[in-house]
Structure 1
Amino acid sequence: MFEYEFMRQAFIASTFIAITAGLVGVFVVSRNMSFLSHTLSEIGFAGAAFGILVGISPLAGMIIFTLVSSIAVGSLSGEASRREASISAISSLFIGLGILFLSLSAQSSSYATNILFGSIVGISAAEVKQLLILAVFVIIIFLIFYKPLAFDSFDHLGAQASGLKTRLLSIVFLITLALSVSIGAQIVGSLLVFVLLTLPAATAKYVVHSVPKMILVSVGLSLAGVWLGLYLAFVTNWPVTFFISTFEVLAYFAGLSYKNWKLTH
């Protein structure tokens, strides 16, 4: 398998994607913002389609759209009464925009398939470098803000009482989430990127309880999912997204079953 350059590039890119998604996902789950990762994935689809239309890379278009939208959409998280309807409206709008941008461009339908469901095995060396730079940037940001961000994510009221700049931390988190959506979409596509950003972290929450352990388990499950998915896709020629999603869902239900077993014993 590793005799093929595209598979080597796919494993390198997917490794950093999984690390980023597993790390950011812990804070997505702790902040109850799974809805936002799903919405940003659909906004990212429109951004990638816009990039194709205007002649820039789909990744660049996705980053622009998700960065601008993340803070605006994230502000709705405090309005629980309006959140569901607002998010549904925003998601519908950007899916429609994505379809419009693709129809206006001269590209074939294969581009839409790649954006929606990922195309990790066709990733170029230049795209791998871009992903690595973005992933390292996100990891560095989290290392810098780890302690205050963890405090704010798991005890928001305590963080406010202690004088932390929670508004700034929220913006930092939203920016890293937007970048993570753009990065993760390269392997599982814009429609399913929330799988890597939510399920591994949600599973980790069921089996461990400290933040460092949650991060380790979440990153480990993300890595296992993408590595196994790439291998099975290589030997079966089935879509890698199918295997990744299936693994993460099975792991999630295994974690949920473990939690229920612990509660009854």
Structure 2
Amino acid sequence: MLQYTFIQNALIAAFLIALLCPSVGTFLVLKRYSMMGDTLSHASFAGVAIGLVAGFNPILSAFIFTSICAIFIEVLRNYYKKYSELILVIVMTLCLGIAITLISTGKTSANVNSFLFGSILTVTREDLYTILILSIVCICLLVSLFNKIAYVTFDEDGAKIAGLNVKLINYIFALLVGTTIAVSMRIMGILVVSSMIAVPVATAMQLNKGFKLTFIYSLIFGLVDIMVGLFTSFYIDCAPGGTIAITSVVILIITITFSKIKCTN
């Protein structure tokens, strides 16, 4: 199967996604803000719809629109500090409204299902280059700001006292989340992309390791989830988003089971 160009494209894209999703997911889960991924996946849906109607690259349009929504979420946090879940509902409602309105006009020039459920057949070289560039930028930003993002994640008030520009760090991190969603939707699909952000991290947390080891294990679990799901989808001829989501939950259940057995012994 590796001789097929579309499989090669999908594998490279999947590898990048396996690094990105758990990386930002670790911080989102620790912030108790994992549903932000689900909200921004709906934002990417609206971005795709805008791109398809306008005849623009849907990954780039999803990236731009999702980034705007990520910034919008951070702005609204200043007005609803005690009701963060309300912010996500507001943004999700807006994005779904835009997506449904545009798609229902019948002006979309491509099959929306490939974006909703993911597809290993539709990852073109152009898509791959876009994913590669955005992924490299995200990884570089994440590496350079890793300690600062971690500080803000664990103690935002302490980070302010220490002199960190917490607002700017939160805005940059929100953009990282938005970008991660945009580059992941081709493989994962919009409907289940948020699972790749949260589930590998939840699996890694069952090992009861420190922060850095949990971060590393979440990358490993993310890579296993995506690769197993991707190969499975190829052999049973279905959308990869579903098989990747199922694989990630199965591995989580297995990890929980082994953790309980280890504790009882």
Superposed CA deviations along residues 170-208 of structure 1, whole A, max 9, x for unmatched, are 111111111001011121111211011111112212214
Aligned to 2:103: 102
Instruction: Spell out, residue by residue over 1:91-148, the C-alpha distance to the aligned partner (whole angstroms, 9 max, x if none).
Output: 233112112112335336x622112112233211111111011111100001110111
Report the equivalent of 2:42: 42
Deviations 1:37-94 (A, max 9, x none): 1111101100110011111011111111111110211344573653334432432331
Structure 1 length-normalised TM: 0.91
Q: Structure 2: 5+ residue runs without aligned partners? A: none
Kept after mapping to 2: 8 A contact 1:42/1:94: yes
Distance 2:88 2:201 in 1: 22
Post-superposition offset of 1:262: 6.2
Q: Secondary structure at the match of 1:224?
A: helix
Alignment partner of 2:121: what SS?
helix
Residues 150 and 211 in structure 1, CA contact (< 8 A), matched pair in contact too: no
- Whether contact under 8 Å (1:230, 1:240) holds in the other structure is yes
Separation in 2, partners of 1:174, 1:155: 17
Matches of residues 161-176 of structure 1 in structure 2 within 5 Å?
161-176=161-176
Q: Aligned AA for 1:74?
A: E
Tell me which protein shows more helix as a share of its residues: 1
Within a 5 Å distance, the mapping from 1:219-230 to structure 2 comes to 219-230=219-230
Taking the aligned partners of 2:258 and 2:149, their CA distance within structure 1 comes to: 28
Contact preservation (8 Å) 2:9, 2:124: yes
Q: Using a 3 Å threshold, how does the CA distance of structure 1 residues 41 and 170 change in structure 2: closer, same or farther?
A: same
Q: Secondary structure at the match of 1:121?
A: coil
Deviations 1:9-54 (A, max 9, x none): 1101110111111211111111111121111110110011001111
Percent of aligned pairs sharing the same letter: 26
Residue of structure 1 in register with 2:133 after alignment: 133
Q: How does 1:37-186 map to 2 (within 5 A)?
A: 37-77=37-77, 79=80, 81-107=82-108, 111-186=111-186
Which stretch of structure 1 is more off in the superposition, 199-208 or 17-26? 199-208
Secondary structure of 1:120 counterpart: coil
Q: Distance in 1 between matches of 2:253 and 2:259?
A: 10
Q: Is the 8 A contact 2:181 2:193 kept in 1?
A: yes
Give, in whole Å, the separation in 2 of the partners of 1:106 and 1:131.
Answer: 25
What TM-score, normalized by structure 2, do the two folds share?
0.91
Q: Look up the equivalent residue of 1:82 and give its one-letter code.
A: Y
AA matched with 1:95 = L
Which amino acid in structure 2 is aligned with residue 51 of structure 1? G
Query: SS in structure 2 opposite 1:115?
Result: helix
Contact 1:39 1:87 in 2 (8 A): yes
What is the total number of aligned residue pairs between the two structures?
Answer: 264
Q: How far apart, CA to CA, are the structure 1 residues paired with 2:263 and 2:155?
A: 24
Check conservation: 2:38, 2:194, Cα contact below 8 A: yes
Whether the aligned pair in 2 keeps the contact of 1:36 and 1:74 (CA below 8 Å) is no
RMSD of aligned residue pairs (Cα, Å): 2.1
Structure 1 regions of 5+ residues with no counterpart?
A: none
Amino acid at match of 1:90: V
- Tell me if structure 2 keeps the 8 A contact 1:9–1:123: yes
